Amino acid sequence: MSVRIKIAETAAEMKDLCFARHKVFVEEEGYLAPKADGRIVDQFDTFGTTTNFIAMEDNRIVGGIRIATSSPAGFPSDQFFDFGPLFQGFSATIASVSQFFLLKKYRANGYRLGFELMGMCAYWASKRNVTHLVAAVNPVIARLLKLGGLEPVAPKFFHDGAGVEVLPMAVDMNHIKGPLLSTIKRQKILTCPENFDREFFLADEPIFCRNQDLQRDYVVINGRIMVYDHQTCGRHDKRNLLGELGPGQSFREFGLFPPSSNQVEISAGTKTELMITSGKPVYDTMKETMGSFPFGLQQLSPNRSQSTMNTHVVH
């Protein structure tokens, strides 16, 4: 099943996020004491300077991470460590990363989903001209963060107030590397309105099947999409490959195809990352804001015939 990463925007999403944190930090790992209301939340979750990313499978939150810029109350990391002296003598725009978690079953495959969450945080920071990321982390995840470029800036210590071990880490955004840098680079495939909504599919996983009623626009960020048409011949169903979509190309479900689109199936040909757009179709929004289409989007437009589509896909 696909996994979606997006910014938590509704009260319901924030409520579920806080319950999911409790599930991991208290019930699964025992790092924190149980809370009466079953939630892990603090004042920073209410500030406009804080952004929470969530990972969802089948509308259930399975992971999260938050990033916060400076607020009147400081940074979430201030309660654990004072990073201020590191940035004396030069101008820096700092963002604090915290509350990173994944449900236990999603920590397999080398924390792939975790890196996608952290990568979207890094991408968010890059779009806001953040120069440095700081984090007061559980030493257990230090190895993962080092793969993205973060390094310890002080020895680990036990924080009496929180009752946990803490390792202060930081990174200059110019030194982001590995999976975090890869995520940032993938997002730069298009010059388009800011969007942090992603969906990830494994190879051969269906994106939508015949007779589904999905109303989303997608832009392919990474991977390849296979588009099939089903034709019934007597009692037999025949599946024909209409074409492929690659990075930079977009499609509107049930808008790209002719009225018989209930016979169309789309699946991931490879491990695939898609950008989800809502509201106006992505190509309409881009045309208004940019005056023209980015590479790839001009090649596919609504209601083209199947034969036209075949001549315009990029291989």
Domain range summary for the chain, segments of one domain joined by + = 3-187, 198-312
Query: Cβ neighbours of residue 306 under 8 Å, at least 6 residues apart?
Result: 229, 242, 257, 258
- 177-205 tens-digit pLDDT: 999 999 999 987 766 667 899 999 999 99
pTM of the model: 0.82
Query: Cβ neighbours of residue 165 under 8 Å, at least 6 residues apart?
Result: 138, 139, 156, 157, 158, 159
Contact in structure between 53 and 66 (CB atoms under 8 Å): yes
Sign, CA dihedral 32-37-40-44, equals negative
Cα–Cα distance measured from residue 82 to residue 147, given in angstroms and rounded to the nearest whole number: 24
Fold of 3-187: Aminopeptidase (3.40.630)
Give the class (CATH, top level) of 198-312.
mainly beta
Average pLDDT over residues 6-19: 97
Amino acid letter, residue 97: V
- 39-92 tens-digit pLDDT: 999 999 999 999 999 999 999 999 999 999 999 999 999 999 999 999 999 999
Pick from 39-53, 144-158, 206-220: least confident: 206-220
Neighbours of 298 (CB within 10 A): 15
Contact in structure between 103 and 122 (CB atoms under 8 Å): no
Angle at 67 between CA 53 and CA 199, to 5 degrees: 25
Cα–Cα distance measured from residue 289 to residue 284, given in angstroms and rounded to the nearest whole number: 9
Fold match flag (3-187 vs 198-312) = no
